[in-house]
Structures are given as structure tokens and as C-alpha cells.
């Protein structure tokens, strides 16, 4: 079933993208002189992950959908918190 495989791959890419964005966020130190540069990287990671989530949502199964929506929320929260730290 190639369709099922695509679904799984899309979901895993979205999950991985979200985790990467989380890692970048956690690596940013609030008073770091490179904060601006790091935040730009965080924004890029989040945007990439959001794209992967949107792609995954197009083919997602009913069980994957709520988790993908949660990833989106997590990423939005990460961006907001990152913004507040700057």
C-alpha cells in the first residue's frame, strides 16, 4: 500500500520537523548575544515544520490528524515564547 506508506512518511516528517524546532528553541539561551540570529533560525525551523505538517494533514489518517494539529499548536507556542524572550 504505497498510499499508507506516504501517510506514515508524511507524518514522521512532520513529527521530526516539530522535534527539531523544539530542539532549536531549547538551545536558545535568553541572554545570548546571538539571540537574534538564533531566533531567525528558530523561525525557519518552525516554518519548515509547519509546511511538513500541512503536507501531512493532506494525507493524514483520522488518528494522525489530532496529533498533527497538536504539533501545530506546539510550534505556535514555541514561536510566541521565543518572541517574548527577544
pLDDT averages per 10-residue partition of the chain, 86 residues: 78 96 84 81 95 96 96 95 77
**Which secondary-structure segment (H or E) carries 16?**
helix 2-27
Give pLDDT, residue 2: 59
Share of the chain residues as helix, strand and coil, in percent rounded to the nearest 5: 85, 0, 15
- Number of residues assigned to the chain: 86
Give pLDDT, residue 51: 97
For residue 51, report the phi and psi dihedrals to the nearest 5 degrees. Answer: -65, -45
**pTM score > 0.75 for this model?**
yes
Query: What is the distance between the alpha carbons of residues 30 and 50, in angstroms, rounded to a whole number?
Result: 24
Amino acid at each position: 500500500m504505497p498510499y499508507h506508506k506516504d501517510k506514515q512518511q508524511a507524518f514522521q516528517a512532520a513529527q521530526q520537523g516539530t522535534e527539531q524546532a523544539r530542539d532549536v528553541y531549547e538551545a536558545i539561551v535568553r541572554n545570548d548575544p546571538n539571540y537574534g540570529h538564533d531566533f531567525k533560525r528558530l523561525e525557519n525551523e518552525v516554518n519548515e515544520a509547519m509546511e511538513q505538517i500541512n503536507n501531512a494533514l493532506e494525507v493524514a489518517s483520522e488518528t494522525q490528524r489530532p496529533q498533527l494539529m497538536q504539533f501545530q499548536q506546539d510550534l505556535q507556542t514555541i514561536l510566541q515564547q521565543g518572541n517574548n524572550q527577544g
